[in-house]
Amino acid sequence: MTVFGPHYPAKLQPIINHAERLAALLHEHEIRNPPSDDAARAWLTGRAEEVEMVVGFIVADWREDQSSEGGTLIALSAYLREVHERAEEELPLGPVPACCVGDVAVTAPMTPCDPSPATVRVANPTRLSPDTLFDPASVLDDSDRKPDR
């Protein structure tokens, strides 16, 4: 069973859907349109699987009551924002990446992608290294975590 799917509260489902579209976009680039630049290709290799895995870790914390919905939204938003920033540097995604379009009809000019459904400010944001896995706890401050039982 994949971590993506229609089984999240209304607050989390849009960002989970966005993560799924981002993973699909990265996979498509890796398989069908790999970058010619060695550094970009190295960054892209396995990135779609990383997105699914990191989303899975963040969601697991929420499911185990280790993180609130708000904390989960913050962690997912911070992670997706970081992946977006690097993807825009490494890949020809255009002004609005396909993962940002979603399932809604566009009736107004689009603005650059914001992976979060709402503006989210992260206390002490951590810049992710492109060579290491993401630690979701690094973007959560203690007020977003539920107390130990």
Summarize pLDDT for 81-132 with one digit per residue, the tens. 999 999 988 888 888 888 888 644 343 444 455 555 444 444 444 444 444 4
Rounded Cα–Cα distance for residues 95 and 82 (Å): 17
Residue among 26, 52, 21, 5 nearest 115 (CA): 21
Three-state secondary structure call for residue 8: coil
> Using CB atoms within 10 A of its CB, is residue 78 exposed (0-12), middle (13-18) or buried (19+)?
buried
Structure tokens at 25: 């976009």
Residue ranges per structural domain of the chain? 13-132
**Tens digits of residue pLDDT in 5-57:** 778 999 999 999 999 999 999 999 999 988 888 999 999 999 999 999 999 99
